[in-house]
Amino acid sequence: MAEFVDRVVLHVSGGRGGNGCVSVRREKFKPLGGPNGGNGGNGGAVILRVDNQTTTLLEYHHSPHQHAPNGDIGRGDMHHGFNGEDLVLTVPQGTVVKDREGNVLADLLRVGDEYVAARGGMGGLGNAALASAKRKAPGFALLGTPGEEADIVLELKSIADVALVGYPSAGKSSLIAAISAARPKIADYPFTTLIPNLGVVQAGDVRYTVADVPGLIEGASEGRGLGHRFLRHVERSSALVHVIDCATLEPGRDPISDFEVIRGELENYEVDPTAGVTVPLHERPQIVVLNKIDVPEARELAEFVRPEFEEMGFKVFEISTASHEGLKSLIFAMAQLVEEDRVARAAAEKEAERVVVEAPVVRPKGFRGKKKQEFTIRREERNLEPLFRVIGEKPERWIQQTDFNNDEAVGYLADRLARLGVEDELFKAGARAGDAVVIGENDNSVIFDWEPTMVGGAELLSSPRGTDARLEEIIRPTRAQKRVEYKERMDAKAEARAELESERAAGVWTESVEYRKKLKEGKVDENIDMPNVED
């Protein structure tokens, strides 16, 4: 079972916003109570936060799916939904956040650093919040938007000032145990250290961290042994310490050849620029430590190879982790390298943070800059027919907030798009009535046939709540059409009247049309016998 995990793939999703409520106040003796639907609550966000009590990513190795709570729905009587709580995930110091393609999203170095991995969705407005002077009682509310979803990669890169590198069983774990309070596993067989170990060392007024990583062997860059996987933990280090075993009995090994092998493996390792230090590992300050001089043969070998290392330009220290011989001078030498690197980094950061003061721009009173375009329109083709795709944060969010089962909500969406300028831009792009228009470019996009007559002004239409007269299939006749229809009705009445008169003359009816007309006007006495057709 894994006990140390330094790389995980995390699937995070923010909480969904709650839907707004459609409600009208109903109270005795108050027929016009007005809308009182509450707003939905915002969804919770997924936040990564550095905690000094967290040392591994093991928890997220077992639980890679993390979802923040949803927001509550709005209710009547102006009861707003509660917001979903943020989901805080604690990570160790030195955690690098990347996307699936390897792009760095955040580098969390200090305790308390935060990164919002997935924002929560927005809560929808209730009809009370949508009411205006012209739309006094909206029959719709806005839906809550879904939270963001993302697949992120968490890589732990230990924050160590000095890194111990060398062959397995060279004495790295024994060295970090001798100079700090760390207690790594120590045994007399190779690859005892399977996870990085950190120790804090105090040298005078300088305190620094030393990292002990699993041993390297020849061919580690090709995957032999434990490979290069743990070298990411020394990318932030200021200096490297080569721990060389002078008491090894393995054939074909000696301090010089061991040093050349380790140095070659460091050259084959490509430093991730996100570590904050872009200098390759083999070009950083290095110290050579000849270990196990408590063994007589090892002491003689160390004295023999020391001049050769010094000719290469390296500082050489002969130590024994068993008797602690030579450790004091070593820890002060490492402290000097760390202090020099800290001073250099502070100067570089100060130079980078220097603020350049720009000359103020004087504009005339009432000057307005050009309005920033909040969306783009891209012309595409689908089945040899034009298709116009609208892409922008606002239009895509408005689509998610619209209840397409409610005609009034659809009309409100049309008004918002028109005010944003989508209609005008579609005209400029060459769109015609009936062309397909798509808002969004993901699976949640909405496609519809564009009708340019759908302009703003729904609040001026006296239609029932939840409806929009512009969406009804009613063709309003022109004045000429009304005149023709009127003449057709008059002609039809005249023909019907003539037909009745002809039927009366033929004896089908016993009263004339004129007699019946006079009878209605009261000019003829109802007791008088009706005229006889034969007379």
Those residues with Cβ within 8 angstroms of residue 80's Cβ, 6 or more apart along the chain or in another chain: 38, 39, 40, 41, 74, 126
Measured on CA atoms in the order 274, 277, 278, 282, is the torsion positive or negative? negative
Q: What one-character DSSP code corresponds to residue 532?
A: P
| Residue 321 is labelled as binding a ligand | yes
Do 204 and 332 lie in one domain? The reply is yes
pLDDT at 374 over 60: yes
Q: Is residue 461 part of a domain?
A: no
Do 27 and 146 lie in one domain? The reply is yes
Quick one: tokens of 487? Answer: 């003449």
Q: Is residue 358 part of a domain?
A: no
Give 432 or 194, the one with higher predicted confidence. 432
Tell me the pLDDT band of 81, cut-offs 50, 70 and 90: very high
| Residue 191 is labelled as binding a ligand | yes
Query: For the chain, what is the domain count?
Result: 4
| Residue 274 is labelled as binding a ligand | no
| Residue 192 is labelled as binding a ligand | yes
Quick one: tokens of 482? Answer: 């009304």
**Confidence (pLDDT) at 352:** 63
- Which domain range does residue 48 map to? 7-156
Closest CA to 150 of 41, 64, 63: 64
Q: Is residue 67 part of a domain?
A: yes
Do 218 and 341 lie in one domain? The reply is yes
pLDDT at 412 over 50: yes
pLDDT at 67 over 70: yes
Give 199 or 456, the one with higher predicted confidence. 199
84, 71 Cβ separation under 8 angstroms: yes
Q: Is residue 473 part of a domain?
A: no
User: Whole-model pTM?
Assistant: 0.69
Q: Is residue 361 part of a domain?
A: no
Do 56 and 149 lie in one domain? The reply is yes
Tell me the pLDDT band of 326, cut-offs 50, 70 and 90: confident
Average pLDDT over residues 462-483: 66
| Residue 190 is labelled as binding a ligand | no
| Residue 212 is labelled as binding a ligand | yes
Do 64 and 118 lie in one domain? The reply is yes
Three-state secondary-structure class, residue 322: coil
Q: The CATH number of the domain where 422 resides is what? A: 3.30.300.350
Do 118 and 168 lie in one domain? The reply is no
pLDDT at 363 over 70: no
> Of 291, 321, 353, which residue is a domain's last?
353
Q: Is residue 458 part of a domain?
A: no
| Residue 169 is labelled as binding a ligand | yes
Q: The CATH number of the domain where 190 resides is what? A: 3.40.50.300
Q: Is residue 171 part of a domain?
A: yes
**Confidence (pLDDT) at 2:** 45
> Of 156, 189, 206, which residue is a domain's last?
156
Q: Is residue 439 part of a domain?
A: yes
Average pLDDT over residues 11-22: 94
Quick one: tokens of 480? Answer: 């000429």
Do 90 and 179 lie in one domain? The reply is no
The mean pLDDT of the chain is 80
| Residue 294 is labelled as binding a ligand | yes
Tell me the pLDDT band of 192, cut-offs 50, 70 and 90: low
pLDDT at 277 over 50: yes
Do 489 and 395 lie in one domain? The reply is no
Give 194 or 96, the one with higher predicted confidence. 96
Do 24 and 39 lie in one domain? The reply is yes
| Residue 196 is labelled as binding a ligand | no
Average pLDDT over residues 412-435: 85
> Of 132, 156, 180, which residue is a domain's last?
156
Give 372 or 183, the one with higher predicted confidence. 183
| Residue 463 is labelled as binding a ligand | no
| Residue 291 is labelled as binding a ligand | yes
- Predicted confidence (pLDDT) per residue in 195-251, tens digit: 677 788 888 888 888 888 776 777 666 656 555 666 777 777 888 888 888 887 777
